[in-house]
Structure 1
């Protein structure tokens, strides 16, 4: 399974997330399936940490019309659709294979 992360990672924050993940286990990540790959709409650090630790995240598939109210995209409304988040994120070069 190929997953595109929203953006790159910060080394310090990545290490913090890895340490938390060792205790908390696999993260939940919302993803949109394009027909060929998955695009994560959140969790770049959680995806990278899971990849480095050899943990497969719990991927939760979402649809373009789904409304998301607990996202961390500062430039978007508090509640927006997956399509709006995908448009905001644009193309990602950060890929991980699980």
Structure 2
């Protein structure tokens, strides 16, 4: 397991449980995996502490899921890209009539 990159969706504070939470995307060996993560901290906690805690929680989930069946984001196929491109082209040509 070699984590190449970690990305966070928008980090939000959940006052009901007193924790920051987000969806963390881990890029590993050319694949992207997503894990919900949370870290208990007061609202005024330092940003570095929050980010480090969220990254550690996601890394731990990723490590524990190794070897098990887990969901990952599939890379878009050429056909899907061409179809999306064609749809957007039609939308631009026909405007609201395409809908």
Q: TM-score if structure 1 supplies the norm length?
A: 0.28
Q: Between Structure 1 and Structure 2, which shows a larger proportion of helix residues?
A: 2
Which of the two has greater strand per residue? 2
Q: Which has the larger radius of gyration?
A: 2
Instruction: Specify which structure has the bigger relative contact order, considering alpha-carbon pairs within 8 angstroms and separated by 6 or more residues.
Output: 1
User: What TM-score, normalized to structure 2?
Assistant: 0.28
